[in-house]
Structure formats: structure tokens, C-alpha cells
């Protein structure tokens, strides 16, 4: 009788499209920590992205580690989200976005029926205030306040819209002054204090970028003064050595430069397009 009842229930589920393929372990046997760690191991990620996911996953574990994955309901997710610090909207959005991605995969793999992450807009951080981009006057003051070896870096960032990792992996062989072109094919990221050289974020990131004519003399002078003769010599380096310039070192100087311009609100990303 039990077997016939089981067959009737599953036959009805098949007919109604509710039947789910059995998995090696039932959701009752799988904790969020077990599934999430396995999920991360199976992802093909760049080192910087993996390190960031590991950091966010450690935060998620504080609320979900021991919970059965099928016990994480929309109400559980909502209460967890409401407990996060609202004064840190970016971190809260990134945590939610990773949780939604993991639980979405669990749904796709039929470990759970459906993702419980249903809070509209929770994966997007709202900027508290709009930052006014740097003007040409701001850029002039900041450039003059930077150490000489990094002045052209800020100019290229502003006029060519280049990422920090693209500029700090730029080498002499990538600079074509005759044709006024920078050849972008690599970038550097920092993972656990070590520089990791890799491809740009996307295939579209491999590109030639025109150097504005008014910057060519400054870049030529920079190459002659601060860059070694080897083809693979870095164009922008750390102080006192040939190694890669990291964010922390540059930002100490950048914070001073933006203060000189009276623009303490600026970040590197708001300097990439000078205003009128």
C-alpha cells in the first residue's frame, strides 16, 4: 500500500510537471555551507573575483552556514537582509547578490524548488549622493599635486578612460608614440597583497586607445625620465623600485591631490572623464 501511494503521488507530480529528479543527497542533508563551498569550487573565476567571493561568502556564513539549504525561505532571506547594516549599502547589495546567485544555481540544479531570494532591487546599491565629475580645473590642480612619476597616470586615466589595473600593467612596448596609440591587452589585480597579471575584464577590453595629442609630449618625457629601456619595463611603478604600483600607494598621493583641489569627494573613477 505504501508503494502504491508513493507511485500515485509521483505519477501525479510527473503529470503536473512537478516531479524532480532525485539527487545524491536530499536537501535535508545539505547545509548552505556545504553547497556554497562546493558552488565556489566549481566556478571558473579570475583570482581577484574568487578572492572577493570568498570574502563575501565568509559574511554569508554568519547567517546561513549551518542552515539546511531547503530551510532558507523567502522570509528567512528577508529577515537576514533587514538585519544588515543599512549604512553600508554596497556591501549589503553585494552579499545579497551572491546569495541570490548561489540559491539560483541550487534551484537550477533542482536541489531546491526555487530560489528564495525575491527582494526587488536588493542586489543594487543606491548611491547616497551623486558625485560631480572632476573638471579640467580640478584635474590641473590634482595633477600638479601628485608626485611627478604619477602625473601622466592621472592624465591618461582622465582622457583615455583607462582602468587603474590597465595603466599599472602598461609597458614600454604598449606605447606607440609615433601613431599616438596605447595598446591595452593586459591588466593587473592584487590578491592577498600579490600582483596578478591577466587579461582585461572582457574581450572588449583588448583594444587600442588613442592618446590625445596634447598628452603625447608629457608621456614622451615620462618615458625618458621614469621608464627603463627594456621593452617590458613598466610605465608606472611603485616608489623606489621596478614593481607594480598598487592602489594603496597611489591613493595616499591621490587623497592629498584631491584635497588640494578642494574635491575630497572624488574617487579615481570620477576622474576618468573631465567635465567642461
User: What are the pLDDT digits (tens) for 76-119?
Assistant: 999 999 999 988 898 999 999 999 999 999 999 989 989 999 99
Which 3-state string (H, E, C) describes the chain? CHHHHHHHHHHHHHHCCCCCCCCCCCHHHCEHHHHHHHHHHCCCCCHHHHHHHHHHHHHHHHHHCCCEHHHCCHHHHHHHHHHCCCCCHHHHHHHHHHHHHHHHHHHHCCCCCCCCCCCCCCCCCCCCCCCCCCCHHHHHHHHHHCCHHHHHHHHHHHHHCCCHHHHCCCEHHHEECCCCEEEECCEEEEECCEEEEECCCCHHHCEEEECCHHHHHHHHHHHHHHCCCCCCCECCECCCCCCECCHHHHHHHHHHHHHHCCCCCCCHHHHCCCCC
pLDDT of residue 11: 84
Residue that has been written with the C-alpha cell 587603474 in this structure: 164
pLDDT of residue 171: 96
Nearest by Cα to 166 from 187, 190, 185: 187
Q: Which residues, given as ranges, of the chain have pLDDT below 50?
A: 23, 274-276
- 210: which strand partners? 181
Model pTM above 0.85 = no
Q: Which domains does the chain have, with CATH numbers?
A: 12-108 (no CATH), 136-271 (1.10.443.10)
pLDDT of residue 96: 96
15-47 pLDDT, tens digit each = 776 665 554 555 558 999 999 999 999 998 888
pLDDT of residue 127: 59
In this structure, are strands 175-176 and 187-191 parallel, antiparallel, or unpaired? unpaired
pLDDT of residue 223: 97
pLDDT of residue 18: 66
Which distant-in-sequence residues (6+ apart) come within 8 Å of 199 by Cβ?
185, 186, 187, 205, 206
Amino acid at each position: 500500500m505504501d508503494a502504491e501511494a508513493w507511485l500515485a503521488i509521483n505519477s501525479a507530480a510527473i503529470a503536473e510537471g512537478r516531479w524532480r529528479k532525485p539527487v545524491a543527497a536530499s536537501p535535508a542533508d545539505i547545509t548552505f555551507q556545504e553547497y556554497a563551498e562546493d558552488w565556489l569550487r566549481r566556478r571558473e573565476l579570475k583570482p581577484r573575483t574568487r578572492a572577493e567571493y570568498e570574502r563575501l561568502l565568509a559574511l554569508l556564513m554568519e547567517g546561513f552556514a549551518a542552515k539546511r539549504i531547503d530551510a532558507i525561505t523567502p522570509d528567512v532571506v528577508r529577515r537576514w537582509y533587514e538585519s544588515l547594516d543599512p549604512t553600508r549599502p554596497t556591501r549589503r547589495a553585494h552579499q545579497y547578490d551572491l546569495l541570490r546567485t548561489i540559491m539560483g544555481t541550487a534551484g537550477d540544479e533542482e536541489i531546491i524548488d526555487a530560489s528564495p531570494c525575491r527582494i526587488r532591487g536588493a542586489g543594487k546599491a543606491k548611491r547616497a549622493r551623486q558625485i560631480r565629475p572632476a573638471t579640467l580645473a580640478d584635474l590641473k590642480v590634482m595633477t600638479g599635486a601628485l608626485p611627478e612619476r604619477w602625473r601622466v597616470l592621472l592624465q591618461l586615466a582622465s582622457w583615455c578612460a583607462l582602468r587603474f589595473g590597465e595603466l599599472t600593467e602598461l609597458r614600454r612596448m604598449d606605447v606607440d608614440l609615433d601613431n599616438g596609440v596605447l595598446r591595452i591587452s593586459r591588466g593587473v589585480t592584487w590578491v592577498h597583497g600579490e600582483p596578478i597579471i591577466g587579461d582585461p575584464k572582457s574581450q572588449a577590453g583588448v583594444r587600442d586607445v588613442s592618446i590625445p595629442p596634447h598628452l603625447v609630449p608629457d608621456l614622451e618625457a615620462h618615458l625618458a625620465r621614469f621608464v627603463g629601456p627594456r621593452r617590458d619595463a613598466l610605465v608606472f611603478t611603485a616608489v623606489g623600485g621596478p614593481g607594480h604600483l598598487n592602489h594603496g600607494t597611489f591613493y595616499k598621493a591621490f587623497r592629498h591631490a584631491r584635497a588640494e583641489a578642494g574635491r575630497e569627494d572624488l574617487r579615481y573613477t570620477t576622474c576618468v572623464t573631465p567635465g567642461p
